[in-house]
Chain A
Amino acid sequence: MEKLPIVSLRGVTKRFGDVVAVNALDIDIFQGEFLTLLGPSGCGKTTVLRLIAGFENLDEGEICMAGSRMNSIPPNKRNVNTVFQSYALFPHMTIFDNIAFGLRMKKYDKNNIDREVMEALDIVKLAGLEKRMPYQLSGGQQQRVAMARAIVNKPQVLLLDEPLSALDYRLRQEMEIELKRIHRQLGITFVFVTHDQEEAISMSDRIAVMNVGKIEQVGTPIEIYEEPQNMFVARFVGEINVFEGKVLRIDNGSAIVSIHGQSFEVQNRKNISEGQDVRVLLRPEDIIVFRDEAESITDPALAGRIENVIYKGKTVDLIITIDAGETIFVTQFFNEDQEDVVFREGQRVHINWPFGWEVVM
């Protein structure tokens, strides 16, 4: 994929009264990518979307699309379309008229409109429903109409404002796959806004994690999940366990960190130095649990006790209290070869992790 920024935001700031919703934000969005703005509610992600769409005027900075400055261009003259969280279908128009609205505004002739609308209905798999009224459709179908109404205009960028949040779990999963398919099929740039990190991770090419009007980190889902650059990203994206430690010494590419008196070898990717206080971050699924009754362990490990066992079907979640203090969250996958491995509440265990699976900051 040729890396051309199709939308670029430079120092974009938006205030609502005294509240700074978006604060000097920079980001490039590239041709054809699926970019997700991920963050808690109120972090300004929807405002960024509305700024790109043109519904809000920015206070500072600059928005460029395909090289031209868009700051004062009204929404009806921008080559972007939005799928709204509430779908917002026109209640007084048939499905056909809803989808045809944009094309009619562009003064397409009737034959072209018919063809394009039918094609869009095909893409969202709603062929045959064009004569219905919006109130006759289910929530999932209305969602698809909202998609069709936007993509029929072949925008440079499609903006999606939490489009799946109103759907139930099963429908949401189905639509995630549909959205990815439509994205691949059309090759349009998607900018997707969500507070759901699983949604973000499973769909995006890149994720921009936002917090209080700023971008904390931009990267692929793997980078965001495996190598969070700060505590906010680490905590917001998935569960994370944090251990406080002190660097004892540096060995080539690795460092020896003391946690509760035990010396652990960790990868030194961030140029940490001797004597520094560090935090060692571990995902629940990266932790290995040894049951004291079954296995003896010689490597450095932290002793603890299982507080809670939560059976999840394909995994089992353990809440373990480390003797020295922390309560940690561990996910274990069932192993077909070791069916006799049973975790019980109150069991004594030791935990550690494979070298290099940790994040140190």
Chain B
Amino acid sequence: MVKKSRFRSTAIGLTLLWITVFVIVPYLFVALFSFLEHDISRIIRWTFTFENYQAIFSPIFLEVCKNSFILAFGTTVITLLVGYPFAYILTRIDEKIRRILLLLMIIPFWTSSLIRTYALIILFKANGIINTFLLYMGWIDQPLNILYTETSVFIGLVYTLLPFMILPLYSSIQKLDWTLIEVAQDLGAPSRHVFLHVVLPLTLPGIAAGSIMVFLPALGLFYIPDLLGGARSMLIGNFIKNQFLTTGNWPLGSAASMILTALMGLFLYGYFLSSRKAHTSMEGVR
């Protein structure tokens, strides 16, 4: 018993240490920097200020925020519309096919998503695979302009984030009691109403989880808009990256990070509340 508990405290202690050193401490620095002044030569000046937060609410940054939210929201909607039917079918089909489909979905994770994004460039560019194929078949006269458009950014985000939508949806739909669907049919509900009044409300926790898992990363994934959107679309992620790596304005980048984190915290809290409510109503119902 003593040995076991020592193992446990070592394991937990190591994890805690890791998180403290590599997550919490750097994060506290970010929080600290966001309240300090920017200095061109020394990066920061040790003077307390709210200037960075004021700067964030400039029209330029708000524009960036708006674009990011539209893109992240659009990505969430598309992944949801594509992911829901797929997850639903996954729960209904034969065990063997299901395993293969799940595997196919997970395999891309074995490759760095940065490399997969470069792969998309090869597909999309003017003399890339798609255009070459379409020209060869004679379906188009001149190469389609896909790369460095909003469309390619959308495709890239949807492609990268789709599994994060499907997996929570799948687990939520799988937990759905199939008898409830039969009850609804038995009570005269056509398929549309069965879905609207029974399946959808009961899988809402999965929809919420999936949406958060897609929406939040979509705000922060800077390299996909960078690589696929060119310089055109500035998003929160790119904005932060630029402050740190290009303009060297760490305090402003830190403030933007804090805002993004606060937003994520808010979403997660909302999800926590809704899932707790859903959980209570499931309890005690056989």
The chain A residues found within 8 Å of chain B, CB to CB, are 53-55, 74-77, 80-82, 84, 86-92, 101-102, 105-106, 133-137, 139, 142, 149-150, 153, 166
Contact = CB atoms under 8 A, between A and B. Distances in A.
A84 B185 contact: no
Nearest to A102: B187
Interface in B140-197: 177, 179-180, 182-190, 193, 197
Nearest to A139: B286
A15 B179 CA distance: 21
Nearest to B182: A55
Contacts of B185: 54-55, 74-76
B184 A101 contact: yes
B121 interface: no
A142 B283 CA distance: 13
Given A90-B183, A153-B187, 12 more contacts: A53-B182, A55-B185, A75-B186, A76-B187, A77-B188, A88-B182, A88-B183, A91-B202, A92-B201, A101-B187, A135-B284, A142-B285
B107 interface: no
14 contacts: A53-B186, A55-B185, A75-B185, A76-B190, A82-B183, A87-B286, A88-B179, A88-B180, A90-B180, A90-B184, A92-B202, A135-B283, A142-B285, A150-B187
A95 to B, nearest CB: 12
A12 B183 CA distance: 23
A245 to B, nearest CB: 50
A22 B12 CA distance: 57
Contacts of B182: 53, 55, 75, 82, 84, 88
Contacts of B280: 135
A181 to B, nearest CB: 23
Contacts of A88: 177, 179-180, 182-183
Contact of B188 (A92, A142, A153, A166): A153
A135 B193 CA distance: 23
A34 B126 CA distance: 75
A92 B197 CA distance: 10
B56 interface: no
Nearest to A97: B197
B147 to A, nearest CB: 45
B41 interface: no
A41 to B, nearest CB: 18
What interface size band does chain B fall in? Answer: 20 to 34
Contacts of B64: none
Given A90-B198, A101-B197, A105-B193, A76 B281 contact: no
A105 B201 CA distance: 17
B115 interface: no
Contacts of A139: 286
Contacts of A90: 180, 183-184, 197-198
B93 interface: no
A153 B188 CA distance: 9
Nearest to A53: B186
A101 B194 CA distance: 11
B121 to A, nearest CB: 45
Contacts of B11: none
Contact of B187 (A92, A105, A133): A105
A87 B193 CA distance: 20
A81 B186 contact: yes
Given A88-B179, A91-B202, A134 B188 contact: no
A92 B198 CA distance: 8
A91 B183 contact: no
Nearest to B184: A101
Nearest to A136: B284
A166 B179 contact: no
B137 interface: no
Contacts of B202: 91-92
Given A82-B183, A86-B179, A90-B198, A105 B189 contact: yes
Nearest to B180: A88
Output the residue of A76, A80, A133, A149 with the most chain B CB within 10 A: A76
Contacts of B278: 92
Given A82-B183, A91-B202, A92-B201, A101 B285 contact: no
Nearest to B286: A86
A135 B186 contact: no
B286 A166 contact: yes
Contacts of B179: 84, 86, 88
A73 B15 CA distance: 59
A153 B185 CA distance: 13
A46 to B, nearest CB: 12
Contacts of A89: 285
Contacts of B285: 87, 89, 91, 134-135, 142
Name the 10 nearest CB pairs between A and B, nearest first: A102-B187, A135-B284, A105-B188, A88-B179, A75-B185, A91-B285, A134-B285, A76-B185, A92-B201, A88-B183
Contacts of B281: 91-92, 133-135
A280 B280 CA distance: 58
A308 B280 CA distance: 52
Nearest to A88: B179
A142 to B, nearest CB: 7
Q: Which of B182, B183, B189, B201 has the most CB of A within 10 A?
A: B183
A236 B281 CA distance: 41
A74 B198 CA distance: 18
A59 to B, nearest CB: 20
